[in-house]
Amino acid sequence: MNMNSVAFGSFHNPVKLIFRPGALSELPGELQPGDVPLVVTDPGVEKAGIADRVCRTLEEAGIRFALFSKVESDPPIETVEAAAAFYRDNGCGPIIGLGGGSSMDAAKALAVVVSTGEDIRAYRHGRPVEAPVVPLLAIPTTAGTGSEVTGVMVISDLQEKVKMVMRGPSLFPKTGILDATLLEGIPSRVAAATGSDAFVHAIEAFLSRKATPVTDALAFEAVRLLASHARRVVADGHDMDALHAMLMGSCMAGLAFSNAGLGLVHALAHPVGSFYHVPHGICCGMFLQPVLRYNLPVCPEKLARLAGALGVDVGRENAVSGAKRVVENLAEIFGDIGIPRNLPGLGISDFRVNDAMLDDAMGAAPTRLNPRTSTREDIKALFESVR
């Protein structure tokens, strides 16, 4: 693969974005008269008083609404079904996903279920979600998944122990509201885990086989924003400047990866997350180093280009040594924000790679987009590198 050629491709994103601290005040203007929105969120967002702020904004605008706040992390099909019953009981219309990736993805799944009447499992084997759905709005409360700008959702099937990654044009929210004041006081471990996910999205989109000049521009700037603000938000969850930069970085990473795709880090992180219940962002951060070192021989020039986004001066070094410096710099950032390097660092000492995990990673779309082609043995060795 020639990483220096200018790729052909396409780019699509239909989401209207409003991004400034205080942007929540624009939520009522994004609804139609008579709409009864359902706010979909999780207990943590409710406890932090963020759901209250959204409810008050709607109340003050005279908008009747309902609130479903029972989304758990890695939301299972059952939660989506419970939300659908609640949605119908309350005669709701538009759906507002408020929270991290879990709440925004549950909102997307809910929109599909209530609009099509179908079981969400109907989309698990790659059938795109194309049927029209009720208007979706997304308000992130973490700087992580970028779900506010993607046509992707991840829902867990607890019986099968798999994360179903589903896509389609209907899953794009109509509007995304990026209001950094909603992230104020974010606990440092949440800022680190979610920031790590965003960071990995940007890096994997940049190195993807499907990367284009458009996604490169977005991913590069995302890496620059995330690299220069990640330590700050982890050190101080009230640093508004840094919170806004992280929100923009995670959103731009979302714009990039929803078009360019991801890579092996995500292919490995999903099964480990499903089997060992490791938070997604932590899992991604943990796999980043081994995957980058594995990819380096096939894409040193492209990896070395990230030096500019990281503020690393590689002077006249050749591509391979520049790429190594990039990988080292990323290791420092991820170490500084507290991402463990392996599973024992998370208290998991009984990790075993099983066939289901290997099958899952081998068959995952990001594996095909990763710059280096992998054998089953490669994947096994990468899994074992975090043991």
Interface ranges with Fe ion (CB under 5 A): 197
Give the Cα separation of 224 and 222 in Å (integer): 5
Q: Which two tokens stand for residue 27?
A: 């939520």
Q: Within a 13 Å sphere around the CA of 14, how many CA atoms are in the beta-carbon half?
A: 11
Q: Minimum distance from CB of 131 to Fe ion (Å)?
A: 26
Q: Minimum distance from CB of 145 to Fe ion (Å)?
A: 6
Q: Minimum distance from CB of 197 to Fe ion (Å)?
A: 4
Give the Cα separation of 186 and 117 in Å (integer): 36
Give the Cα separation of 107 and 101 in Å (integer): 10
Instruction: Give whichever of 197 and 239 is closer to Fe ion, judged by the CB atom.
Output: 197
Q: Minimum distance from CB of 266 to Fe ion (Å)?
A: 6
Alpha carbon distances (Å) from 23 to 54, 103, 135, 179, 250? 11, 19, 19, 5, 17
Q: What is the dihedral of CA 216, 214, 267, 373, to 10 degrees?
A: -70
Q: Cα angle at 99 between 64 and 57, to 5 degrees?
A: 30
Instruction: Give whichever of 244 and 266 is closer to Fe ion, judged by the CB atom.
Output: 266
Burial level of 297, CB count in 10 A (0-12/13-18/19+)? Answer: exposed
Q: Minimum distance from CB of 261 to Fe ion (Å)?
A: 12
Q: Nearest residue to Fe ion, using CB? A: 197
Of all residues in the chain, what percent are helix, strand and coil, respectively (each to 5)?
A: 55, 10, 35
Q: Strand 38-40 to strand 95-99: parallel, antiparallel, or no bridges (unpaired)?
A: parallel
- Among 141, 152, 155, residue whose Cα is nearest residue 184: 141
Q: Minimum distance from CB of 64 to Fe ion (Å)?
A: 35
Alpha carbon distances (Å) from 175 to 59, 138, 274? 20, 6, 30
Instruction: Give whichever of 73 and 321 is closer to Fe ion, judged by the CB atom.
Output: 73
- Among 270, 316, 323, 278, residue whose Cα is nearest residue 297: 323
Q: Minimum distance from CB of 106 to Fe ion (Å)?
A: 16
Instruction: Give whichever of 23 and 233 is closer to Fe ion, judged by the CB atom.
Output: 233
Q: Minimum distance from CB of 49 to Fe ion (Å)?
A: 27
Contact 344, 385 (CB under 8 A): no
Instruction: Give whichever of 146 and 322 is closer to Fe ion, judged by the CB atom.
Output: 146
Instruction: Give whichever of 87 and 257 is closer to Fe ion, judged by the CB atom.
Output: 257
Instruction: Give whichever of 92 and 225 is closer to Fe ion, judged by the CB atom.
Output: 225
Contact 306, 202 (CB under 8 A): no
Instruction: Give whichever of 197 and 360 is closer to Fe ion, judged by the CB atom.
Output: 197
Instruction: Give whichever of 102 and 374 is closer to Fe ion, judged by the CB atom.
Output: 102
Q: Minimum distance from CB of 5 to Fe ion (Å)?
A: 27
Q: Minimum distance from CB of 154 to Fe ion (Å)?
A: 8
Q: Which two tokens stand for residue 160?
A: 């099968």
Instruction: Give whichever of 179 and 197 is closer to Fe ion, judged by the CB atom.
Output: 197
CB within 8 A of 103, min separation 6: which ones?
40, 41, 42, 45, 71, 75, 97, 141
Contact 166, 123 (CB under 8 A): yes
